[in-house]
Structure 1
């Protein structure tokens, strides 16, 4: 049996942490500086993690290999299973021609791309995060923005940053519930504290999106709408998490934000939309005429937008021609049908008690052969992370597959067409599947060998000042695993113990771990790959990373300051009493 040491190198937590962080530095270096393709970056970081686990931590080589295989399997199912079926659902709408109608429906609300970014990436993306999570919002909203005219890089950047606001309460508050189960702290109390942290970010995210789409001009022209939507979303998060339901927080906030946008557009019309459209058209023309890595990768595996925009490679070629007649109620309904169906199916699976219980009962737990029972935690207890959960029916990916089958039937697509679209996507996603599987293998090796807990324990050794640094652990955990839930599984109990030793509020720091993970998701190699795959920029994950890393770090610093002040008398009044 293997028991990880906290300080295996010279009995020094500092030096051990410097070695343990090498796999993460490899990711950041290869993606951000050397500009490697994501699958090579992931494989290189995995190799470094394996080397550190065997040579420094003394983990038996066969257990290291088994840890990597478990992570690899988790990367394929459920993570890429979700992404594959999310993109397949979108491609079915393209093949049927209904996506053209969806463009018209969205334009009927507003043809301003800055408004569309708020409605699709922030509001609708938030709803998808609330119901599904695990990369589905990034994949679906990414291709939607591409289809209405966004360039691939701008679409990827917008959806990654938009996906920050709802993450803490995503998938019916699974990250928060996980933290509560692990620490014994009432998860509703943890959620209430998070409701005093993340709404400040949520209120600003629509402003960030407008700036990303149209720069300072867009902010000057559209700040009233962006601010109203963000503030309504943030207030709804606060009210729901503190007084209504932690589980329903993101659903309520997303619908409230969407309602605020629609209502405000009835009484206030932004200016400059045509200028923004012209700017985007120029960008698309520039992308189409200049050589790029995306073009080089077009034959080696791209997502739906393998050209400069979806329309050039998918809609115009594969879609049946649509008439120019005005939209009828029937066409509007069919255009919205896939996304309404997603909401219905996911809401039923999460909120209908008997159905949710039945779906969870179909899950199969598999003690990983040769690994389960042979790895202990640093405290000497048998770790539970060596048990693989096969959610063959309850997985969001399976629910998206069911949704896709129903959509194909309603759209009267032949079985041959539906299967052809699916198999084509599998081929296109092959490098993305490899990337995500490698990154999850890296995460499992780091976690089970003890590298991650070494880094966390070192950061937690700062005493009372740890409150300022506590969100960094959540940020780090989510950056590695791509999941706020996984970050809480890694660090929630560590945050609790560090808080008790430093005389701080354990619930505050556990909440800070979750909030920190919110801003770490956009830079996780898993999410970068999903975004790149969705918009057809496979191989350019490093370019996307360089565009979002500063946003992530900036929001992380703001969170650190907020949590640090909440741990002192300055802002302690903000923390709800249990």
Structure 2
């Protein structure tokens, strides 16, 4: 027996939407006004969503309970799995005393906090988003900045803000691929449209981050470095998204901007080294204290992470690992038991891809790094236990947030809000990014947001005579702004940054920036739809887009090659270390 979602339960779409928005408003109320801890706010919002689904939308209690269970399971794997592995890797580095060396090595590049934030939160975070996605970029980059003795609130807040521009091309372009599948538009066309929107944000994001940290006047002191970072990222993001496809923009732009900025800093230094007001004096340069081998050893967990996670992002590797290990099942009692507005049963298939998951890639990197950084596996096991204890409340938060998201989507509450926005007629392009923003706020994923709303974006744009690629791409672009305030992202960042229990403060830190950037995108997309239509790519299908899999090697070959590279790297460290 199936249940049909009543997307207009009160027989008045405006009234239904006002009621539907209540669970979202509860999140804002709990975090901004009530200043609740993250797990309490998410449990509260989840409870309201369940009551609304059962009472107003008349969702069967059994389906509501199963939806909560499905969301909680997905919250634990793969989301919590990524956070656990990322924090574990960072904790290993701290336990071994290697993070002290990393602090000094960062000072050798630049002791300026403004530039360190750009390198780690913006560029390195974008690279991680392009390869792993989910919560890995924020978790790892926030932990690194906190380890570098950044103010915890600034560290986590900056990482959330910096993790906006790469999200649409995250996880080797999966959000674009899903948008293409759901809307029917060519993948390359969507990639090109996003690639003509987000580089504008990419160009200004480093400046925006520094202004938040130090103010306008202090940001002008490092403007040349900001322009090098943002400019190189924007150019590389534009070129790759428009000519190579959606798989590579984050990876190429992230690595490229790091290289460009590091090289630039060899020839240019800011006149004044800026640091936080309550901070100790800057560290001495690494060359006075540590050998090259010691520096590389200290960075080895993150270097290994880069190699492994890049390999895990390759489609042939994912396919090979999934073929060998993936377990999947239809969620009992829930799969195809709910029918949406179009009459299509909603699939609920849980995929336990324990080998190909990004969290597993991070864990493997950590385990390989254990003897390299001078720890025993017995010590590593102790660190893992401490990490699990550290993350007990964030795990509850993330699982309840995903339960909240699943109930909203399965009951039809999300669709009600989306339909109201779709009824705005010629103004719809203005609200198209809002749909993406809302989807990512609820689900924590740009991929999930495009799966929810890409078809609605396509149909509505066609009805009002706007190029559908504008609104479909706007769903992805708007979604990136919702990422910084998504309860899931807030929970991940708080866990990595040591701000467990202070999620409300972190939410308030990012909220105004999310609204400001969203408003900018709304006007920008409206202009794309009606005024500067020359920016819209031609709708000629592209037969092939270049991807990271184009070398043609099968998945097991990439894994063998990666193992050889890692073995050579570790052996070289050991040999040069003995000589030293």
What is the TM-score when the length of structure 2 is the normalising length?
Answer: 0.90
State the distance in 1 between where 2:218 and 2:147 align: 21
- 8 Å CA contact 1:45–1:442 kept in 2: the answer is yes
Q: Does 1:26 align with 2:2?
A: no
Q: 2:317 aligns with which of 347, 351, 355?
A: 355
State the distance in 2 between where 1:226 and 1:92 align: 32
Aligned pairs (5 A) from 1:382-421? 382-384=345-347, 386-421=348-383
State the distance in 2 between where 1:150 and 1:411 align: 23
Moved >6 Å (runs of 4+)? none
2:246 equivalent in structure 1: 246
CA distances 1:254-288 after superposition (whole Å, capped 9, x unpaired): 11211221122122211221xx225241799xxxx
Q: 1:114 to 1:186 in 2, by over 3 A?
A: same
1:379 equivalent in structure 2: 342
CA distances 1:149-172 after superposition (whole Å, capped 9, x unpaired): 211111111111111121111110
Q: 1:245 to 1:328 in 2, by over 3 A?
A: farther
1:563 equivalent in structure 2: 525
State the distance in 1 between where 2:416 and 2:278 align: 46
Q: 1:283 to 1:176 in 2, by over 3 A?
A: farther
- 8 Å CA contact 1:350–1:356 kept in 2: the answer is yes
State the distance in 2 between where 1:57 and 1:278 align: 51
Q: Which runs of 5+ in 2 are unaligned?
A: 540-580
Shift of 1:182: 1.3
Q: 2:475 aligns with which of 513, 528, 543?
A: 513
Q: Does 1:233 align with 2:194?
A: no
Shift of 1:112: 0.7
SS in 1 for 2:351: strand
Q: Does 1:194 align with 2:156?
A: no
Q: Which runs of 5+ in 1 are unaligned?
A: 285-310, 312-322
2:391 equivalent in structure 1: 429
Q: Does 1:281 align with 2:279?
A: yes
CA distances 1:458-502 after superposition (whole Å, capped 9, x unpaired): 101111210011000000110111111111111111111111221
Shift of 1:343: 1.5
What is the TM-score when the length of structure 1 is the normalising length?
Answer: 0.90
CA distances 1:204-260 after superposition (whole Å, capped 9, x unpaired): 110011112212232121122112211211111111000123201111111121122
CA distances 1:341-375 after superposition (whole Å, capped 9, x unpaired): 11211221223x54232023232222111111211
Q: 1:502 to 1:283 in 2, by over 3 A?
A: farther
SS in 2 for 1:389: strand
Q: Does 1:474 align with 2:436?
A: yes
Aligned pairs (5 A) from 1:131-530? 131-273=131-273, 276-277=274-275, 279-281=277-279, 326-351=289-314, 353-361=315-323, 362-384=325-347, 386-530=348-492
1:8 equivalent in structure 2: 9
- 8 Å CA contact 1:349–1:359 kept in 2: the answer is no
Aligned pairs (5 A) from 1:541-556? 541-556=503-518
State the distance in 2 between where 1:409 and 1:68 align: 41
Cα RMSD between the aligned structures?
1.7
